Amino acid sequence: MRFEIPNPMKVEHDELHADLVNATRAGGKTGEAAKAVAKVLHNHFLKEEEYALPPLGLLSELSAGKVSAEMGDVLAMTDKLEAELPTMLAEHKDILAALSTLIEAAKAEGRPEIVRFAEKLMLHAQAEEQVAYPTALLIGRYVKSKLAA
């Protein structure tokens, strides 16, 4: 079974990535700080899109009471997320530190749009930690329990 990241989340990831690319082109200390963010963020985004966010695509079906044997395929993703969660959270700390540096540079160089982007990305990381990751883990546990019943 194929699991799709919910479209609003995919669009948000794409927009954040595009905003980051624009920030890397800002020049000066802001551009350099944005490149440092990109360096720590790239592999993290790939992991999220590989196994952390696709399980969320099952929410609508699961909340409607639909469970099928094919949904068991999601367990490979949720098990990987559970195993990798400490690393993912540590990467968030590195990302937040790089974003703080970006905010300082952007403020110093009069780039309020880049400050707003960095603050938005910080909130995005919090939403993942407080909502997306725990929800994906619960999806895995729920599917596992329903398929075992």
Domain residue extents for the chain: 7-50+69-148
pLDDT at 112: 98
8 Å CB contact between 109 and 30: yes
The Cα 111–Cα 94 span in angstroms is: 22
The Cα 102–Cα 108 span in angstroms is: 10
Token pair, residue 122, equals 């910080």
pLDDT at 32: 98
Region for residue 3 given its phi and psi (left: phi exceeds 0; alpha: psi -120 to 50; beta: otherwise): beta
pTM over 0.85: yes
pLDDT at 149: 81
Q: Which residue has the tokens 């749009």?
A: 113
Residue 113 CB: number of other CB atoms within 10 A?
Answer: 12
Position 129, amino acid: E
pLDDT at 111: 97
The Cα 33–Cα 100 span in angstroms is: 9
Position 113, amino acid: E
The Cα 9–Cα 92 span in angstroms is: 17
Q: Which residues of the chain have pLDDT under 50?
A: none
Q: How many CA atoms lie within 13 A of 75 on its CB side?
A: 14
pLDDT at 1: 84
The Cα 96–Cα 102 span in angstroms is: 10
